[in-house]
Each structure stands twice: as structure tokens, then as C-alpha cells.
Structure 1
Amino acid sequence: MTPFSRIAQTALVCAGILAWTYPLHAEETALGFEEAAHLAATAQDPALEHFDARAESLEERAIADSALPDPTVRTGLANFPVDTLRDVQEPMTQYQVALRQEFLPGDTLALRGRERHAEAAIERQKKELLLRRIVFDVRRAWLDLYHAEKSRRIIKANLSALQNLASAQTGAFASGASSSQNIFRADLEIALMKDRLSALAQHGKNAAAELARYIGAHANRPPVGELPLLNEPRAPAALKEALSAHPAIDVERAAEEREEVRIGLAKEAYKPSWSVDAGYGYRAGGRADFASVGLTFSVPLFAQGRQDRRLSAAMKERQAARLTRQSLLKDLERELDIALADWHELGRRLRLYEQAVTRRAHDAAQASLGSYADGRADFPEIIRDRLAVLDAELTYLDLQVDRAKTWAKLSYLAGDTHE
């Protein structure tokens, strides 16, 4: 191959490399990382509104369940003679009307209202948990979309450079200045890059579909060209303290409070229920009318078979809710420890790539291009060094995206993770 041909190929490679330094998309139409999360958090999602509807239903029931039962009215005709069918024949014949009001044991009504309010609180905390999960999922989906778009742009630039080299090698082969092995090697790498582009296109579509579930048509906007600036998380002790306010913990805490109310209801069942009856009897024939008042109450004589068992069951349910909350907190602490370890390790690897790996890969590629132009390096060496740069750039991108996902996980676990 002539020196001129070598220099021409080198120029083509350099032109292809420069192509991937331009921004991903125009910023005015791009979708930002936190913008996507905000859109998802403020959207009218049926999955979230479901919990509001359930909570409002339970709060309405709280009012109804804490109200007295409706009074009952009884009317009747007593001691009516059937031989003459005259209401004045017997002095005990009466036209009666009676009113009965039932009262449940102790503070049962108030506790029933509190039970429904506690159940409503569970539904509202479930909404907060789902909302936090949605924001986490949207952030991860946005990062997947960004990763796919940025990777495709990097690979396309290198693909363009390889295609230029392959074209030059084809011309050199026709003139007898190159071997068919160089052409086959370039064609192989081109085919592999095209396959990677197809896979990335599929991943990008999947990520956009995931986003569309929560932000609708905004998912069709391309991601911004750069990752957001991620601040360092707070101290591990502060993050672990924040776990106690996680919505998943609040759900179990609200469940525990509901079981506490149910214990109160079980205790109230030891007290008697009672009712008041008031009646009036009208007698015909100028006779005096009758009035009556009565008090009815239950006698909990068989507490061992009913009330004791219900109280024991309620106390065990409270203990189960407490243990569930404690177990969940330990699981969250484990996830936080893993996420913090990933954050620090990914940061170390990113610094290594920034300071050494990526820079050295570029230096090696530039050196091989210079040697190739001077006739001191062969074509496969250029391919190897170019692929090494590609791998270094893609790995560096992987690390950036993985660290951003770890930041999103820390935010999901502990809320605001900023200093």
C-alpha cells in the first residue's frame, strides 16, 4: 500500500472518530432526568388514584361505623278480644307503640371509627410507596434510554470509521496493495457493530415503552445529551436513620396502629352491650293509658370461649405487624449497604477510567494511526486499538449509568440523598 493510501485511510478513521463528539440531541427538545421523574410524580395515574379512592371510602365508613345504630320502632295491638272484636270489651286491650335504642359496649363505636381511619392511613401510605417506586422506575428507564442512545452514537461513529477503512482496503486489494484478510476482518467487525446497534435499538424501545407508561407522549422525546450531576449521598448513619421514614415502613407502622385499635375493640367486648326500651299503650273506652320503660343488657358469661380468644388473636396480629416492620427495616438496611458499596466502588472505577484507561486507549489508538501512516503498523493493529477505544468508551458509559442507577436506588431507599 502506498504512503498516500495509508494517510488517506488514517484521515478517514479520524473523521469517523470526531463524528461521535457532537451532542446527542438538541437540548430544547430533550427530556431531562429529573424532568421525567417530575412528570411521573405529578401525572394522574389510576394506580395512584385507586389508593385515594380507597382511603376516602374508609374515611366515610369511619363516620358511619362510629354512629349509633338506628333506633327501632315497634307497633302492635295487645290483648285484643277475638270473640266480639271490640277494643272496649277487655281492660287490657292496648294499641302499643315502642321505641328501642341499642348501645354498644364501652367505646366500641369510637374505636370502630379509629379502625377505619387507620385502614385509610394504610392506603395513603401505600400510595406514597407506589409513588416512590414509580419515580425510581422512571429514573431507571430514563437511564436505560440514555444508555441505549449514547451507546448507539458511539458505535455509529466507530462503524463509520471502520466502513471508511473497509472501503479503502477494498480499493487497495484491487490494486494488489492489501490482503483479503484485512477486508474480511473489517467486514466482520462491521457486522458485529451492526448487530450491537440492533440490540441497542431494541433496548431503547423497551425503555421508551416503560417511560410511556408513566409520562405518556413525553417518552417520545430523546434524552438529554449528558447525565445529571449527582451529589454525594449523606453519611451512612443519616441514610439509615432516614429508612425509618420509608413509605414501606410507614405502611407496616399504620398496620400496627390498626391492630392496636383492634386490641382495644377486643377489650371493649368484655363490657356489656345494652339497650333502652320505651313504650306507650293506648286503651279505648276512657281507660288510663300505659307507659313502660325497660333496660336490656348482655352478660358476658362465656368470655373464655369468645372474648379471651379474640383478645389473644388481636394481640398476636399486633405482634405479627411489629415483626413484619422490623424485618422489612432490616431488608431495607441490607439494600442500603449494598447500594452504598456499589456507589463507592463504581466511583473508584470511574476515576480509574477517567485518569488512565480511556486516556491510554486513545493514546494507543492515535499512536497506531501514526505508525500505520508511516508504514510501521499493520491494519489489524489499527482495528484492535480502535476496538479497544470503543470498549473503553462503552465501559466508561456503563459505569456512569450504573452509578446513576445506584444514586436512584439510594434516593428510593432514603429519600433525599443530597448533602
Structure 2
Amino acid sequence: MSYYFLTNNPLRHVNATCRISVLLCLFSLFFLYANSAKGQTLSLEQAFQLAIQHDPVLEGNVHREHGFEAQAEAALSWANPQMSVSVQNLPTDGFALDQEPMTQFKVGLKQQLPRGDENRYNQQKYQVMADKMSVENQARKAWLKREITLAWLNWFYSTRRIALLDKEKALLSQLLDFTSSKYSKGVGTTAQQDVLQVRLALLTLDDKYVQAYQRQNEAKAAFSRWYGAPLDESFTAPSSMELNAILQSSDVSLASFVAAVESSEPFSVLQHHPEALLLQFQTQIETQNLKIAREQTKSQWAFEASYGYRQDEPNGMSRADFVSLGVQVDLPFFTQSRQDATIAAAAAKKSASETDFRLKVNELAANADVLKTRLLGLSERKALFDTELISEIEQLSEAELTAYTNDTGDISDVVNANLKLVQIQDDVLKIDVERAKTLADLVYLYLPSHAFNSNKE
């Protein structure tokens, strides 16, 4: 419990009425900074929803998915048939259509067939690319929630930090009044450097204020990165930490989530993380590209048909029309070195994608181990503060206050004890925020993993 002091009387011999007034002021000022500013508090869940609603990447992925699905449908179609119209063997000495028997008006059609199963593999490739977009959205949403959580926690910390600085300033101001009064009246051994030290502490506190307000403004401005505009001024900073909201799920409690994370094997679970799944989809795409490259070694066929119309002879004798049928095939056997190189390149890309998947899983698992170790250390520090340090400093503060009220202590000792309590509260705040950030990183790693969710069910 923190206490604030209004008295500036350096003398110990005060009457009972003054001491009672001091105690009443102590307890009343304890609630002085508890009142939050009016306005709508931006909850963590609201921040999530606003970010998802305004994220252009998610909207763009929907259009990309539709585009790939359309390409998959179009990939099965054959190439457009070709039509040709010509006048052949026209004599140059008169340009008459009925002069020579070889002159004809010819209309032809040509249809080129796909090369092997190239169209089917292209269709499968585009379908995989469309399916990849849904996983891309899952990864984007998980990433957005983590980034929003970190920004929200920075805003929360800077706001609570300012409140603690207000408490510290009130205590230092009372200590300055007390020290200045005691020095001016020549009471005790108070020297001028004591007054200067307190003033220097207040000046240092002003610098802390500047930094805290700068961090608060930066944290609030960071939301514009996802909202496309500065955060509405009607929103105020959060007054409490929402650990359950960080879990992004009402079905999983904080204790059960932490227990499940500690007992899980990250290398198997994180294979199903969206970041890893995206690389698996990329491997499937490269597999289709390899199949397409192999199809390029097959011949491509084309069929054509034409009809040649001839005019009758000048004497009226009829001339027969012509019908032509043909087959075309390319011969890829003379470019074997180029085709082998193309297949080798596609196979190498597929192998590289498989390697990227393993590296990504290793990276995610290593991050998970680091975060679990960090969370354990922060929890131990939190327990130390809760069970020992805070209670000890509160007992010291109570003892100094009791000694002062019984005329056996000095008010400067009481103020210094409460300053230590404020510093302890600042340390606890840092630990709480760091634990929440670590939890947000673990949620990003584990909750989007399908295997982890199925195990929890």
C-alpha cells in the first residue's frame, strides 16, 4: 500500500489533531490517482476486431484466392482453335479465279492438343495456390493478433507507468517540502545538498515523464499501422491487463494453456503452424511445377482440316473441290539438354522448399523453447515479488509510519519507504507486461496449430 504525505512540518512535536489529519490525508490520497480519464476504453478484443476489419492484406488474399480458382478452372481448357482463310494459286496474268484449275479459295481449321497431362497439372497447381490463400489468411490473422497485443500492452504499460510516476512525484514533492523547511529552520543535520538531491530527483522524474508520454503516444500511434488512420481520440488507454483476451479463445483457460504448452513437444506441434503449412503448400506447388517440366519432354500434337473451293471452268465444266486433313507433332528430342536442365531446376526448387519447411519448424520450435524458459523465469520473479518483496516493503512502510505517528521516527524515512514501494510496483508492472508479451508470443506459436487445438479438444 502506498501513502502520500501533505505535511511539511519538520518538527516532531505536533498535536494529536495534526497527526490524525496527516493519517486521513494518507488514506484519502491513496485513491487520488485511481480515477481514470473519461472515454471509451479500447479493449484488446476490440483492437483485434478493428485490425481484422481494416486489414487490406486479408481482403487482397480473398481476391487472390478467387483469381487462382478461376485460373484452375481455365487451365483445363484446350488452346483456342485456329482458323485460316486464303486464296491460293491465283494467276498473276489476269487474277481470274476460274482461269487456272489450281486456283482455290481455302478455309482451314487447326486444333492444338495439350502436351501430355500439362493442363491437369496446371489445374492442380492453381488449386493448391487457391488453398494456400486460406492458410495465408490464418497466418495473417495470428500475426495481426500478436502485433496488436504487443502494441496494446505497450500502451497499457506506458499508461500505468505514468500513474506510478504521479505517485512518485507526489512523494518527492512532499519530501522536498519537508527537507526545505527543515533546512531553512536549521532543524537537525539537514544540509543544502539534501535539498539539492531531492530537487535533482524531481528533475530526473521530469525526464521520466517525457519518456513515458513519448512511449504512450508512440504506442497509440502504432495502431494506425493496422487501422489505416490514427486511433480515434475517444478511445482511452486500458486500465487493466486482459490475459484471457490474449488467449483469443474462451474455451482455453490460462492455466490449461500454459500446462499444455509446457507438456507439448514443439517440433511435432509446430509442423502444423500456418507459417510451416505455407511452406508445405509451396512444396506442393513446386511438385506440380516438376510434373509440368517433365510433361515438356512429351510431343505436342495438332490436327488440322481445310476445305478448298474451286470455281467452274470458263466453258462451264465443273471442278471438284478439295478437302485436306493433317496431323502435326513437334519433336522435343533435339532439345534434350535444355529439358533436362529445366527438370533439374524444378527438382532443386522442390528440394529447397522441403528444406525451408524443416528450417521453419526448427526456428519455431527454438523460439518456443526460449519463450517457455522466459515465461518460467518471469513467473519465478513474479512469485518472489508477490510473496516476499512487496510484503516486506509494505511492512517497512507501515513500521516507518507507525514510528512517525508515535513520535519516534522521521517523516523522511516514511517517504523514502513509500518511494521504494512505488519502485517495487514499477518492477512488478514491468514483469507483468513482459509475461503478457511472452504469453502473446506463445499463443501465436501454439494456438493456430491444428494439432495443438485437436489435442485440447
TM-score by length of 2: 0.83
Q: Deviations over 1:14-42 (max 9, x none)?
A: 3586136725456x72122233223323x
CA distance in 1, matches of 2:94, 2:378: 103
Tell me the equivalent position of 2:12: 3
Partner-residue secondary structure (3-state), 2:222 = helix
Tell me the equivalent position of 1:261: 288
Task: Confirm or deny that 1:357 pairs with 2:369.
Answer: no
Q: Deviations over 1:41-78 (max 9, x none)?
A: 3x132233233333333333333343211111111112
Gaps of 5+ in 1: none
AA matched with 2:294:
K
Tell me the equivalent position of 2:100: 90
Measured at CA, do residues 374 and 295 of structure 1 come closer, stay the same or move farther in structure 2, by a change above 3 Å? same
- The 5 A counterparts of 1:265-276 are 265-276=292-303
CA distance in 2, matches of 1:236, 1:363: 36
- The 5 A counterparts of 1:131-146 are 131-146=141-156
Task: Confirm or deny that 1:302 pairs with 2:329.
Answer: no
Partner-residue secondary structure (3-state), 2:239 = coil
CA distance in 2, matches of 1:394, 1:279: 89
CA distance in 2, matches of 1:110, 1:375: 94
1:347 pairs with one of 371, 379, 393: 379
Measured at CA, do residues 281 and 56 of structure 1 come closer, stay the same or move farther in structure 2, by a change above 3 Å? same
Partner-residue secondary structure (3-state), 1:304 = helix
Shift of 1:173: 3.6
Partner-residue secondary structure (3-state), 2:106 = strand
Shift of 1:154: 1.8
Shift of 1:196: 1.4
Q: Deviations over 1:250-272 (max 9, x none)?
A: 21111101001011101211221
Q: Deviations over 1:338-360 (max 9, x none)?
A: 11111122111111111111111
Measured at CA, do residues 20 and 198 of structure 1 come closer, stay the same or move farther in structure 2, by a change above 3 Å? farther
- The 5 A counterparts of 1:38-187 are 38-41=49-52, 43-177=53-187, 179=190, 180-187=192-199
Whether the aligned pair in 2 keeps the contact of 1:25 and 1:224 (CA below 8 Å) is no
Tell me the equivalent position of 2:443: 411
- The 5 A counterparts of 1:168-247 are 168-177=178-187, 179=190, 180-215=192-227, 217-218=231-232, 221-230=235-244, 231-232=254-255, 233=258, 234-238=260-264, 240=266, 241-247=268-274
The sequence identity of aligned pairs, in percent, is: 22
Tell me the equivalent position of 2:346: 314
Tell me the equivalent position of 1:32: 43
CA distance in 2, matches of 1:96, 1:8: 117
CA distance in 2, matches of 1:108, 1:11: 87
Shift of 1:378: 4.3
Paired residues, number: 417
Partner-residue secondary structure (3-state), 2:223 = helix
Measured at CA, do residues 251 and 218 of structure 1 come closer, stay the same or move farther in structure 2, by a change above 3 Å? farther
Whether the aligned pair in 2 keeps the contact of 1:25 and 1:225 (CA below 8 Å) is no
Tell me the equivalent position of 1:250: 277
Q: Which moved more, 1:118-127 or 1:322-331?
A: 118-127
Gaps of 5+ in 2: 1-9, 245-253, 313-317
Whether the aligned pair in 2 keeps the contact of 1:136 and 1:409 (CA below 8 Å) is yes
AA matched with 1:281:
G
AA matched with 1:33:
L
TM-score by length of 1: 0.90
Q: Deviations over 1:173-197 (max 9, x none)?
A: 4433363344333322222222212
Task: Confirm or deny that 1:282 pairs with 2:312.
Answer: no
Measured at CA, do residues 340 and 220 of structure 1 come closer, stay the same or move farther in structure 2, by a change above 3 Å? farther
